[in-house]
Amino acid sequence: MNPYRKPFFGDPLFPFELVYHDKKNPAGELPDHLHDRYELVYVHKGCGTFFIDKTFYEKKPGDLFIIPGNTIHRSAPDEANPYVTSAAFFSPAFAKTESLDDSYSPLRSFDSSRKHKSYKLELPEPLQAEFEELLKRMDLELRERRLGYREAVRLQLGELLLRLNRYAATLSPEDSSIDHGVGPAWMKEALRAIDEHPEQDASLAEMSRRSAVTPPHFSRVFKQLTGMNLTDYVNAKRIILAKELLANSDDSVGLIAERCGFNSLPHFHRVFKAFTGMSPAAYKKSSHLS
Domain CATH number, residue 121: 2.60.120.280
Per-residue pLDDT for 290 more than 60?
no
Instruction: Output the CA angle 264-266-269, nearest 5 degrees.
Output: 110
Confidence of residue 178 (pLDDT cuts 50, 70, 90): very low
Per-residue pLDDT for 287 more than 80?
no
Is 160 in the same domain as 93?
Answer: yes
Is 215 in the same domain as 265?
Answer: yes
Is 204 in the same domain as 97?
Answer: no
Is 86 in the same domain as 151?
Answer: yes
CA atoms within 13 A on the CB side of 140: 8
Is 223 in the same domain as 170?
Answer: no
Confidence of residue 147 (pLDDT cuts 50, 70, 90): very high
Per-residue pLDDT for 13 more than 90?
no
Closest CA to 273 of 229, 227, 242: 242
pLDDT tens for residues 231-278? 988 998 899 899 889 988 889 999 999 999 999 999 999 999 888 888
Is 259 in the same domain as 136?
Answer: no
Average pLDDT over residues 38-60: 91
CA separation for the pair 105, 16 (Å, rounded):
18
Domain boundary pick from 176, 201, 228: 176
Average pLDDT over residues 165-185: 70
Of the two residues 102 and 234, the one the predictor is more confident about is 234
Is 144 in the same domain as 213?
Answer: no
The single-letter DSSP state of residue 263 is S
Domain boundary pick from 127, 147, 176: 176
- Count of domains observed in the chain: 2
Confidence of residue 179 (pLDDT cuts 50, 70, 90): very low
**Owning domain of residue 74:** 4-176
Confidence of residue 146 (pLDDT cuts 50, 70, 90): very high
Per-residue pLDDT for 129 more than 80?
yes
Confidence of residue 165 (pLDDT cuts 50, 70, 90): very high
CA separation for the pair 31, 227 (Å, rounded):
7
Is 275 in the same domain as 252?
Answer: yes
CA separation for the pair 65, 62 (Å, rounded):
10
Query: Residue 100 belongs to what H/E stretch?
Result: none
Domain boundary pick from 149, 176, 203: 176
